[in-house]
Amino acid sequence: MSKIQRLLVANRGEIALRIMKTAQAMGIHCVAVYSEADAKAPFVAAADTAIAIGPAAPSESYLNVERILSVARQQQVDAVHPGYGFLSENTRFAEACEQADIRFIGPPASAIAAMGSKSAAKALMEQAGIPLVPGYHGDDQRLERFQAEAPRIGFPLLIKASAGGGGKGMRVVRQLSELDEAIAGAQREGLSSFGDDHLLMERYLEAPRHVEVQILFDRHGAGRYLFDRDCSVQRRHQKIIEEAPAPGLRDSTRQAMGEAAVRSGEAIGYVGAGTVEFLYDPATEDFFFMEMNTRLQVEHPVTELVTGLDLVEWQIKVAEGTPLPWQQSELTCRGHAMEARIYAEDPAQDFLPQTGVLHTLREPNTLPQVRVDTGVTEGQEITPWYDPMLAKVISWGENREQSRLRLMEALRRYHADGVTLNTGYVHDVLGHPAFAAAELTTGFVDNYAADLRAAAFTPLERKALSWLAWYLETALTGDDDPWGMADGFRLNGQREPQPCEVRLADSALSGRYTLAADQRSAHLQLGDDSLQLSWAATTDGAVTVELKGPRHHQVRLDWALRGARLAVFADASQWHAWVNHPELQAGAVTDDTELTAPMHGRVTALHCQPGDLVTAGQPLLVMEAMKMEHTLRAGADARVKAVHCEVNASVAAGQVVIELEPNDGTTT
């Protein structure tokens, strides 16, 4: 087949930039398509040609097959790369590209169709002799059938959207009484995210690992496995940390899993890069087919770092007809790689997706053996329209421990102000003793929830570090007038204690600080507590701080000032502070009688109306934001006073959607 000269990238964000980086290095002209919401996004600027294709809503832009193909024909492209998500596993899109004589950089439409339905895929894998978890994958989607199958499968069980992925349309059910609500929610989410509400059920293994195998097939029938990855650490069934190779597997298990993955591809006539996902039981060393992703995975960089291969390059070469040049025995896995996904989300609020403007963005892309695949830039607005993953930070080391420590250091240097990120949380996962010991399961986040909720710094330490950031940012700037310096300098060489007030989002303390003569240490008294700080500058503009108080430890400190608000970056933690600004308040008081939308989104279900009596914990409203469902529940027994929204209505962050009043005991 001929070389690809012009490539349309039918995606956005991080993966669009990743594809274009390799394609442009291969001398290929890259065409980007973008929505109105992404007009100023970095991938648009990086493209050789960029074409607007519609409004922000994915259905009117990135999922609009006709519009994308129209651009492909107009631009006379040779091929389309779909990335991951959106149309990457859409059979109709692959077929339309084939009919238009445009190469689809992925498998044939028939292979996508075979794996597109989890139910059909499991039936095919069973025929290929690959072990499956017990479950129900039938076409009878009546509630009564699910109710009958659930006891046979056994609890706990997992409900999945058959056409789904990324944890969407997925529910864990632990008893029969939870089944009906879980099925309704999974069907709604499956229909919203994939246009298909077909579900399957299977036994939920309590402590498995999620191990997947990267495969690559050429157009001549040759297939190879490029080793394995562990993706067990997940929240909401979505991965946050991935590593290659999967630690702790016997060589015989690793080989058996790889060979099973190749057989999976052979069974459907696969072409290109794909991933076969397995559930692995460490106790028995058994593995079970879970699903096959007929596209490039988010976590493909860890495989690239341990194999030395560029998977996007090989996707393009396969599309051009190049045969795979290696035998399986010639492929090697060197060292260890780890990846952390950077999400705009708040782990303290059950990983609620966040929006805002990236007023400050500092990425650790200069550290040795660290790679940052990013889709955002400073000043960019993060909207609610798309998946909240902004970037990936990937490390490589000679061994797992070296890679882990490098990734932790990289996260200590990833700073953003304006949008809450998960960097601190992921850093704490990497630092957890169980993770360091490779004691991995898909329940890791839940199993160690209490540990991972623990704050890295005490309130006193947070206030002390906030004061120091303020002092270093503001107190020694300006002119050289010693009388204007906030260091308490006196002509006799002594320094007097100076007053200060430090306010965080939830508390404030007044105190005094006394600087040492060298202005590299200080004694800080806040309320009834005190501690000693000393600091030294780093080569990249931050400082290393020694904290001596109730405990003694070292911290990397950085900051960004925006107006009166100071963003403080301490190791991988972040918070906002106001120093010597007692008039500023951080947030409004919450009224417990009002339920407000946690962020901009769309109401998908209402479970109450004015006059209803509701009980604590009862679901009252379901909304969708950033492709995830969020349920608002009653905080106490009450009566519904008013409902200020309706199904399918858009609501703004902070908007009051339901008013409650105390239940006076009367009935309606």
The three-state secondary structure class of 619 is strand
The token pair that represents 32 in the structure block: 């980007």
Q: How far apart are CA 472 and CA 300, in angstroms?
A: 41
Instruction: Please name the residues in contact with 467: beta carbons below 8 A apart, sequence gap of 6 or more.
Output: 500, 502, 513, 524, 526, 579
Relative to beta strand 6-9, strand 79-81 is parallel
* Contact between 192 and 604 (Cβ < 8 Å): yes
Whether residue 295 lies in the annotated active site: yes
Q: How far apart are CA 218 and CA 324, in angstroms?
A: 6
First to last CA, the chain: 73
The token pair that represents 458 in the structure block: 């005490």
The token pair that represents 372 in the structure block: 């940052």
* Contact between 44 and 50 (Cβ < 8 Å): yes
16 phi and psi angles, rounded to 5 deg:
-65, -45
The token pair that represents 431 in the structure block: 């630092």
Handedness of CA 23, 24, 27, 29 (dihedral sign): positive
Burial of 59 (0-12, 13-18, 19+ CB in 10 A): exposed
Handedness of CA 80, 86, 90, 96 (dihedral sign): negative
Residue from 295, 404, 412, 413 carrying the catalytic annotation: 295
* Contact between 128 and 315 (Cβ < 8 Å): no
Q: How far apart are CA 655 and CA 594, in angstroms?
A: 10
Active centre residues (catalytic): 295
